[in-house]
Structure 1
Amino acid sequence: GKPVSPEQFKKISSETLTEDTLTVIYSGLFSLLRRAIRLPLTSLKPEMFKEDMNELQIPAEFQEDIASVVFGARRPRIENEILDSRPRLPKLDQLKWRVDVAISTSVLNRVLEPTILMEMKLSNGKIHSFEVPVSQFHQLRYNVAYVLKEMEDLEKKSILKIQD
């Protein structure tokens, strides 16, 4: 979970392990652990994982330590750290809308034509306001209702139900 500083690399490197060699080892180990932790424990078996490490020519003295990270008590904490540190888009916290009818405007064809003013408040605190024609608002309503109906239909299918 914590980044490795260049000073730590220099401290570990010696005459037999150069900084470049250590960088290759670190990046390979990081890639191996990242891919192993992405897999659910039901599909990744310890025996298969050890066979894979043998194929990668990882010395046997390190295999037990690596396997303990993937299958041991630290795994839930690592998974939680991965979930907490991943990049995300802000979520919609609030959506307000109102109908607006312009009585006087510089554009003559928009006089007395209703529009929908929408205001979105996001989880990062930003507020976005925009104007939508009534026809586009109805299209948005229809598409949201359609997606909700499709989700409901999917939930009714027996393949997605949890079996006891």
Structure 2
Amino acid sequence: MSLKELPKNVVNLVLNSPKEYQSQLFKMALLAHKPTDQDHSELIKNFSKETDMPKEQIYNILGVYIALIKLFLEINESDFNQKLLEFGFTTDFLQKLPFFKNPNGIIDNLMDNHTDFGKMSLFKWRIDISLSNSTLVKKVPMNLLVSLTMKNGKNLKIKIEAKEFHRLRFNIALILKELNSLRLSK
């Protein structure tokens, strides 16, 4: 759910949700936002039974909280507050959001299950070339073999044809160039 398309009745639904359940709903939104394989429908079903809230209402509130989490991660605090006020949220609601009490804790909580490719311990690569005869070289494409060893012991092996590797390298260079020009234009 995008906050730009948020109907006023959904904002009112979030604002009028029982105060004693808001922290539980926010924790469920954090849990739902994490990249896991778990199905949280049973958790929502049990919460619905305990609180007598319809599942549809819980899903709408969770959708708003997840959109708030995404927005919080994208922009700074003052812009975040301003946008929420524009969408119809009250200052009282903003003050009760747990974002501002422990923003680093929320970010750490969201990043717990992300695969961190920055924890690479070993990177090896080689070019696989067949040198038996000139006709075979034309039929068998040259390959690039990449081996990544992560600090957690996991090994990743990737085999890429030379043409695909050059295409990938070119597109990454274009993306980096665009990012650099965006950074300089700000």
Match of 1:28 among 34, 39, 60: 60
Contact 1:118-1:130 at 8 Å conserved across structures: yes
| Amino acid of the structure 2 residue aligned with 1:128 | K
AA matched with 2:117: K
Cα gap change, 1:9 to 1:143, in 2 (>3 Å): closer
Cα separation, 1, equivalents of 2:86 and 2:171: 49
Once the two structures are overlaid, the 10-residue window that deviates more, 27-36 or 144-153, is 144-153
Is the 8 Å Cα contact of residues 102 and 110 (structure 1) preserved in structure 2?
yes
Residues 116 and 131 in structure 1, CA contact (< 8 A), matched pair in contact too: yes
Q: Which residue number corresponds to residue 7 of structure 1?
A: 46
- SS of residue paired to 1:128: strand
TM-score, normalisation: structure 1: 0.50
Bigger Rg, which one: 1
Structure 2: gaps (5+ residues)? 1-26, 32-42
Give the distance between the partners of 1:46 and 1:70, measured in 2 at CA. 17
Unaligned runs of 5+ in 1: 14-20, 55-62
Q: Does 1:68 align with 2:96?
A: yes
| Alpha-carbon contact 2:99-2:106 (below 8 Å) kept | no
Distance 1:51 1:78 in 2: 23
Work out the CA distance in 2 between the residues paired with 1:51 and 1:103: 66
Alignment of structure 1 residues 124-139 onto 2, 5 Å: 125-130=154-159, 132-133=161-162
1:122 is displaced (CA, Å) by 6.2
Partner residue in 1 for 2:117: 91
- For the residues of structure 1 that align with 2:146 and 2:178, how far apart are their CA atoms? 27
Residues in 1 aligned to 2:180 and 2:83: alpha-carbon distance in whole angstroms: 41
By relative contact order (CA 8 Å, sep 6+), the higher-ranking structure is 2
Tell me how many residue pairs correspond in the alignment.
138
Is the counterpart of residue 45 in structure 1 residue 117 in structure 2?
A: no
Measure the CA separation in 1 of the matches of 2:83 and 2:168. 52
Q: State the SS of the aligned residue for 1:73.
A: coil
Partner deviation per Cα, 1:81-134 (whole Å, 9 max, x = no partner): 23435xx577384542334443548x95239x994541232658242242634x
Q: Is 2:48–2:58's contact at 8 Å kept on the other side of the alignment?
A: no
The Cα RMSD (Å) is: 4.5
> Residue 88 of structure 2 aligns to a residue in which SS?
helix
For residues 66 and 148 of structure 1, the distance between their equivalents in structure 2, rounded to whole angstroms, comes to 37
Q: Deviations over 1:45-64 (max 9, x none)?
A: 3795397147xxxxxxxx84
In structure 2, the partner of 1:120 is 147
